[in-house]
Amino acid sequence: MSKSLFRELLDKEASPALGCTEPMMFALGGAITRKYAPGKVLRVDMVGCGLMVTGVQAVGIPKTGGKTGAFLAAAVGIVNGDVDACKEVLRNVTPEDVKSAEELVKSATFTLDMDNSTGKQVYFKLTLTTDQHVATVIFEDEHHTWTYLEVDGEVVVDNRRPVGEMLIPANDIDWNEFTIENAYNWCKTAPISEFGRAKEAVEMNYIVAKDGLENPRGMGIQTAKVLQDNVKSGFVADDEITEVLIWGTAGADARMGGSDYPTMVSTASGNQGLMVVMGPWASAKYRKMSDEDGYRAVAFALLMNTYMKYLSKEYVYMPPTCSCATTSAPAAAAGVAFLHGLTPQQINDMLCTSQVQMCGVVCDGAKPSCAFRMFVALFGALEAMMMAEKGIRATNVEGFVHDDLKVTLENIYRLQHDVLHNKVDAILWDIVKEQKTIH
């Protein structure tokens, strides 16, 4: 077994990003087109796949004080987005820039609609029209990957791929090598120098989680802080599970509210990065274990999240089910199980059982209440861990669950592909329009 595979996966799928992926993409699209289309802004026309256009509506935009919406996210990117910073495109935005962006939304025409016809799970197109130029950018497959750029009718970049060739990282993985047992053994035995990414993730995500506990913002969903307050009042016990739940969800509270701090994402998701990093880290600190033990557990959790998400195939970066609940919560619990000394087989059993409670829970867009759903999933996954430790698990007579996690996730993929694909987000977009929350 090559140890480099797991280090490569950590380096590839754990990277810094500022803000939720949807407003980041809208801002980056605005910044890119503005670079090629100076002049007075007349129109900003945007279309995207269902979860793009719904997910941008309710989450806070970094550097704006928790303001929300597709129009403002794009406008802030147009006003002062840093194209070179990519996933941290909004890092230089000032309060004055926000005011300018709000004025731009009032003075120019902004439109937004859904387009599911491309077959891509991640798709977003923004066209900026000024009194001098017209520029169009298209993102596909990943939230930060723009594959097409057209300026004044001339194609500048065209790296688009047909649906049959869309990005599916699972196709490039040796699944005989990427197993729960091999990842577990690598995290147990590799030199500590291999875990630099995990250390960076802890340092970065601790700040965001602390922000969620100390600076409530947005729409008032404060899953972690309410739990922490009830510990102080004596209503909830101050134990290891409570600490894991608090720190595992606090970062999502902050990020969905528009935290100004960057997050180390896990497989394209900042919320998932926050949970799979801070859950095991909180367990290690509560148990007074060494930093090295904590970093190894965090790395294992990150790898387990990638393992489960890769088995979503083309849905790896934007599934119709809620991967914050179905993969990141079990992955975070796997990191805790790693610290408790569960075996790879017990962890497999725990992860399978975890799918019983959340399988089929759809993603209805990024929003402040995501942290609450993640809390529920993490609590259940920790219970599954305790059951696995005693030899208790869901078996292959229970719905989608199979004795092996890989087969379980392949069964859930069939649900996503054959039942949910392009249907959930179409219904959700209709509801968003009915509720008149598009902005």
| Helices and strands in the chain, H and E counts | 17, 8
Give per-residue burial for 266-283: e unless 16+ CB within 10 Å, then b.
bbbbbbbbbbbbbbbbbb
Element (H, E) at 223: helix 223-233
Q: What is the pLDDT of residues 295-323, one digit of tens each?
A: 999 999 999 999 999 999 999 988 999 99
Q: CA 208, CA 188: separation in Å to the nearest integer?
A: 27
CA distances from 26 to 52, 131, 366 (A): 9, 21, 14
Please check whether residue 47 is in contact with residue 114, taking contact to mean a CB–CB distance below 8 angstroms. yes
Which ranges in 311-343 belong to alpha helices (H)?
Answer: 323, 329-340
CA-derived radius of gyration, the chain: 21
Q: CA 161, CA 168: separation in Å to the nearest integer?
A: 12
What count of other Cβ atoms lies within 10 Å of the Cβ of residue 418?
8
Torsional class of 44: left (φ above 0), alpha (ψ -120 to 50), beta (otherwise): beta
Two tokens, residue 34 = 């503005």
Element (H, E) at 245: helix 240-256
Q: CA 252, CA 374: separation in Å to the nearest integer?
A: 9
Vertex 318: Cα angle to 149 and 98 (nearest 5)? 60
pLDDT of residue 1: 42
Helix (H, G, I), strand (E, B) or coil at 359: coil
Q: CA 330, CA 279: separation in Å to the nearest integer?
A: 10
pLDDT of residue 363: 92
Q: CA 226, CA 254: separation in Å to the nearest integer?
A: 13
Please check whether residue 90 is in contact with residue 77, taking contact to mean a CB–CB distance below 8 angstroms. yes
pLDDT of residue 222: 85
Q: CA 219, CA 215: separation in Å to the nearest integer?
A: 12
Amino acid at 96: E
Q: CB neighbours of 185 closer than 8 A, spacing ≥ 6? A: 1, 344
Q: CA 293, CA 140: separation in Å to the nearest integer?
A: 38
Per-residue tens of pLDDT for the chain, all 439 residues: 455 899 999 999 999 999 999 999 999 999 999 999 999 999 999 999 988 999 899 999 999 998 999 999 999 999 999 999 999 999 999 999 999 999 999 999 999 999 988 888 899 999 999 999 999 999 998 888 899 999 999 999 999 988 777 788 999 999 999 999 999 999 999 999 999 999 999 999 999 999 999 987 644 568 999 999 999 999 999 999 999 999 999 999 999 999 999 999 999 999 999 999 999 999 999 999 999 999 999 999 999 999 999 999 999 988 999 999 999 999 999 999 999 999 999 999 999 999 998 888 999 988 888 999 999 999 999 999 999 999 999 999 889 999 999 999 999 999 999 999 888 888 988 998 898 778 8
Q: CB neighbours of 391 closer than 8 A, spacing ≥ 6? A: none
